Chains A and B, each alone.
Chain A
């Protein structure tokens, strides 16, 4: 019996059909998905902070509106993704607790500080850009609710990316100080953006099983290469350079060669040593704890409301 179920699951996945919440699925698949989607949801929510840092200081009202709308979108992304985990039996409150207790991770890129307004543009261009490279393949991932959430999210992310790029284009037409600000920001974000694809395939532990389950579709190194190939012409059009002396076109491979990120820094930041790790979690924890009385009140009111309705009936 169990074998039948497993066989049907395998066939569904192999046939590129979708697994839906009520379908039987192996425990490992469910756990891996919850972990991956929750980590993605946490990233969206923690990702509100670095850019949120500039809302109050945005240098024009149009940019303020764009930025506020973008950060709001990220909250929406977090919400869709937490909902997707709930279809697998997870619980938002529990996942949030795991996040603020450091038991679940989020994308390490958000542990880097946003130091100038150019960072808002560069994050849109490179960080949302790298996120899109990671996420577009997930629009075909085997778990239905996740795939559908990703389609919606990817559309909005590509909008964010364009807005970021457009900000940089505008700044590069501005004063020398603005141009320098953009280049400085690119210098600080390029390597961390490349790290967003995860460690090199040779060192990556989760890849193989996830690929077989069609939860993951491309390896870290494949995605990183695609991202570099796409970003170089964009940088040229913008008039900035990437801080990598090894970056050059390889005629034979038909791809760009590029240097290796500092993986020691990567692991240091992943393990909590980044400039903002503590700050990001403390911020999230404070919002969650300060809001506890509000959530309790809403629940209490809803319960009283139901009781009154019943009493009246």
Chain B
């Protein structure tokens, strides 16, 4: 590379070379975006928001590790996972937006907390903040990615061509996420007394939020054939988790469930207190400059 080449086409260069993050629409290029006949579009939008918000909020949490990880390799790995989830979120919010007449940013930045439909597991602080540590983060990632992988593998059969394409693309990513989390679970479970204790504590911290992942929501029922009923994933995911915990010498926590709030939880837009702060941080710049272009 010559000295001046580094600057070549800085002015006016072709647009196609720029973008890291614009690839997502291309990733689904050629996919039929028409809505399948007879599908309840509002339910489809709600469903895409559920899965999209799970990914967006979990990605926001994971990105908090960037520059704070235990080693450089892990900074890179966690950023990778956060980027994959962000990519999934963008595709899902875009799909929801096709029904709602909004773009991904309007949905991510201009909805209020009560309109977010992610599960609580995605939003709770599992570290590097005071709510956890690296082991807690790994515990969440293990549960989240095992569940989401099972879900996406069924979603490949969705009657919605876009959801089907998103699931196909996401499958490989999620398999890597789960593998990464499983390897760390084993390393920490087996490593030292301290790491074993922390890994067990991490599992105990996230376990009350597991049950919500498998709760059937009315949207799932309305969208039979398009959506996956999460209740149908339970035994598969339990099996995976059991195998990993076994290999790690860890104990499956007792099945305590976080109570719902007047019968509601994340899928109904009812969140933990942590969610308000997360959104305040994520949304404040976008909201403070209305009309700005980014």
Contacts and interface: CB of A to CB of B under 8 A. Distances in A.
Interface stretch (A2-10, A22-30, A73-81, A261-269): A73-81
B71 A295 contact: yes
A84 interface: no
Nearest to B17: A162
B292 A68 contact: no
Given A59-B286, A158-B6, A178-B289, A71 B66 contact: yes
Contact of A170 (B60, B71, B188, B294): B294
B66 A298 contact: no
* Contact-residue bracket for chain A: 35 or more
Nearest to B2: A136
A161 B289 contact: no
User: Interface of chain B, helix or strand or loop or mixed?
Assistant: helix
Interface stretch (A44-52, A99-107, A203-211): A44-52
Interface in B12-71: 13, 17-22, 56, 60, 63-64, 66-71
A233 B67 CA distance: 34
Contacts of A230: 7
Given A61-B89, A171-B293, A300-B191, A295 B70 contact: yes
Interface string B64-89: 10111111111110011011001101
Given A297-B192, A297-B195, A59 B75 contact: no
Interface string A56-76: 111111111110111110011
A13 interface: no
Given A61-B86, A297-B194, A162 B75 contact: no
B192 A296 contact: yes
B198 to A, nearest CB: 7
Contacts of A70: 20
Interface in A125-177: 129, 132-133, 136-137, 139, 151, 154-155, 157-159, 161-163, 165-167, 170-171, 173-175, 177
A132 to B, nearest CB: 5
Nearest to B289: A177
Nearest to B104: A61
A61 B90 contact: yes
Nearest to B93: A61
A178 B190 contact: no
B194 A293 contact: yes
Contacts of A75: 67, 72, 75-76, 79
A133 B10 CA distance: 14
Contacts of B282: 56-57
Contacts, number: 203
Given A175-B289, A233-B11, A287-B68, A132 B6 contact: yes
Contacts of B104: 61
Interface in B109-154: 109, 128, 133-134
A117 interface: yes
A68 B82 contact: yes
B263 interface: no
Contacts of A166: 18-19
B292 A174 contact: yes
A132 B63 CA distance: 27
B208 to A, nearest CB: 24
Contact of A71 (B79, B128, B293): B79
Contacts of B93: 61
Nearest to A132: B6
Contacts of A226: 3
A291 B80 CA distance: 19
A283 B67 contact: yes
A155 B89 CA distance: 29
B3 A175 contact: no
Given A69-B83, A75-B75, A136 B1 contact: yes
B159 interface: no
Contacts of A283: 67-68
A301 B187 contact: yes
26 contacts: A55-B66, A56-B281, A57-B281, A59-B109, A59-B289, A61-B90, A61-B93, A63-B21, A65-B86, A68-B63, A68-B86, A75-B72, A79-B76, A133-B6, A158-B6, A163-B18, A163-B19, A170-B293, A174-B292, A174-B294, A177-B292, A287-B67, A294-B70, A296-B194, A298-B191, A301-B186
Closest CB pairs A-B (n = 8): A291-B70, A297-B191, A297-B195, A65-B21, A294-B70, A72-B79, A60-B294, A62-B21
